[in-house]
Amino acid sequence: MISGRDRAAPDVQDEEKPSKTQRKRAMHELQGALAGAHPGIDTQRLRALVRNTREERNAGRPPRAYRELFRALRDIIAELQTAPDHDRE
């Protein structure tokens, strides 16, 4: 028998998770902000890496795309940190 407390738990968890539409909207906003602030970034490649990462995780495959995404983001961050800041002139 399921108690009332057990039945309420899935509802609470569902409310905490953003919907697919909310996740897509947030991803597009982030990509737009990233591309606007740093136009040289290959957002199409990053989107493909994110998609591949999700697919491999769902299939239970080793995290090859995840590692590639991590390296790409690490390289972007390193490049941005070493780039001269023109706003300080």
Q: Rounded to two decimals, what is the model's pTM?
A: 0.57
Which phi and psi (to 5°) does residue 17 adopt? -80, 130
Ordered by start, the domain boundaries in the chain are: 41-83
Q: Decide: helix, strand or coil at residue 15.
A: helix
The predicted pLDDT at position 46 comes to: 86
52's CB contacts (< 8 A; 6+ apart) are 65, 68, 69
User: pLDDT class for 2, splitting at 50, 70, 90?
Assistant: low
pLDDT in tens, 45-85: 888 998 999 899 999 999 999 999 899 888 888 887 886 66
pLDDT in tens, 13-24: 555 676 778 777
